[in-house]
Amino acid sequence: MAEITPETVSTAALAYLGDSVTELWVRRRLVTSGISSAGKLNEMALGYVRATEQSAALKRMLPHLTEEEAAVFRRGKNIDHHSMPKSASQKEYREATGFETVFGYLYLKGMNDRIDELLTLAYSEEQL
């Protein structure tokens, strides 16, 4: 199997991976908060991974991105979308895709501490 790096996968694949990275981070935070009901955990997690929520989280995180991370965000934001959810505007959906792309990129770079740092900025402790 070939080595997978941010340079060897498409921007869409980075966003796909970043979606999972973000969701896992949110789920881990919710579980460690002491909530034990799977239904409640799922309901709460959805409140963080929807495009509208990711777009809002991006605004809190954006000023803290490095130049490299901001370039990755712009790449993700600008990919072509063939479908859009009804619950988000085109702008929100594009921003959410860029948000996810950053985390797919950081994950493949092995920068788990940076992922935690940025997601902590994006989703304040009061939210979780």
- The residues carrying an active-site annotation are 19
Please list the alpha-helical segments (H only) found in 1-128: 11-32, 38-49, 51-61, 67-77, 90-108, 112-122
How large is the C-alpha radius of gyration of the chain?
14
How many of the other CB atoms lie within 10 Å of CB of 91?
A: 11
Token readout for 103 is: 């985390």
Q: Is 41 helix (H, G, I), strand (E, B) or coil?
A: helix
Encoded amino acid at 67, one letter: E
In angstroms, the CA 66 to CA 106 distance is 12
